[in-house]
């Protein structure tokens, strides 16, 4: 259950007192709990991030990013961070939600997602994205934008397209792929509000 509390001015704080439960697709048939990061979760999140960054095929972070730098990046004060847990309480994925641009662009949010290699291909990215959309709507965002979706990241493109995101622009050779060299990167966007014209 998600509870939203209005603070002074236009800022909205979000509290989630109970994680959302989802049934994962694929052959596992397991249930997943998506909820806010807890104090002890970083030691389990870091291996997922380290692995994803080291692959050099989807995230622009340095492939040899230090843990201290990764923690500062993923757990930045401007980020709301969530994790996806299995029934055995294993962390299989994580995402952050943030305002994409301050000021007159603060009605659009941005997210970053990482799924453990052992859990890929089961629809977990899509489940976390759906959770992120729910959180974003509760916070008053009208749209969600992914600023750098590597054109060779077919799994990511499939997941985001299935979730209703559209490619609204492509930046030529914007990503330095670890194996393929310079490749294109897409900007993907989705309106998540029923009334996107009302900011």
pLDDT interval class at 194 (50, 70, 90)? confident
Confidence (pTM): 0.84
Mean pLDDT on 109-120: 96
* Contact in structure between 140 and 8 (CB atoms under 8 Å): no
d(CA 5, CA 70) in angstroms, rounded, equals 30
- Tell me what pLDDT residue 199 has: 59
- Tell me what pLDDT residue 69 has: 98
Distances (CA, A) of 116 to 51, 81, 98, 120, 145: 8, 16, 22, 6, 23
Mapped onto helix, strand or coil, the DSSP state of residue 69 is helix
Tens digits of residue pLDDT in 89-111: 999 999 999 999 999 999 999 99
Tens digits of residue pLDDT in 2-47: 322 222 233 323 334 344 555 444 434 557 899 999 999 999 999 9
Residue 76 has pLDDT above 70, yes or no: yes
d(CA 141, CA 110) in angstroms, rounded, equals 10
- Tell me what pLDDT residue 30 has: 59
The DSSP symbol for 121 reads T
Summary mean pLDDT of the chain:
87
Mean pLDDT on 168-192: 98
* Contact in structure between 82 and 20 (CB atoms under 8 Å): no
Residue 68 has pLDDT above 90, yes or no: yes
d(CA 70, CA 76) in angstroms, rounded, equals 10
For the chain, the domains span: 2-191
Instruction: Assign domain 2-191 to its CATH superfamily.
Output: Gcn5-related N-acetyltransferase (GNAT) (3.40.630.30)
Return the axis-axis angle of helices 42-55 and 67-74, rounded to nearest 10°: 100
Contacts of 143 (CB under 8 A, 6+ apart): 107, 108, 109, 189, 190, 191, 192, 193, 196
């Amino acid at each position: 259950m998600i509870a939203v509390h209005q603070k002074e001015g236009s800022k909205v704080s979000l509290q989630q007192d109970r994680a959302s439960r989802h049934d994962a697709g694929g052959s596992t048939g397991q249930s997943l709990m998506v909820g806010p990061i807890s104090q002890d979760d970083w030691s389990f999140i870091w291996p997922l991030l380290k692995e994803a960054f080291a692959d050099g095929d989807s995230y622009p972070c340095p492939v040899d990013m230090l843990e201290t730098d990764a923690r500062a990046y993923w757990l930045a004060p401007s980020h709301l961070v969530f994790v996806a847990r299995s029934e055995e309480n294993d962390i299989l994925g994580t995402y952050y939600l943030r305002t994409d641009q301050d000021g007159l662009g603060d009605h659009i949010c941005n997210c970053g997602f990482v799924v453990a290699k052992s859990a890929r291909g089961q629809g977990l990215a899509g489940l976390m994205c759906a959770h992120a959309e729910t959180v974003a709507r509760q916070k008053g965002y009208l749209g969600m934008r992914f600023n750098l979706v590597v054109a060779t990241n077919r799994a990511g493109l499939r997941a985001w397209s299935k979730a209703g995101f559209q490619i609204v622009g492509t930046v030529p050779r914007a990503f330095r792929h670890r194996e393929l060299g310079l490749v294109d990167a897409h900007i993907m966007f989705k309106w998540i509000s029923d009334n996107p014209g009302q900011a």
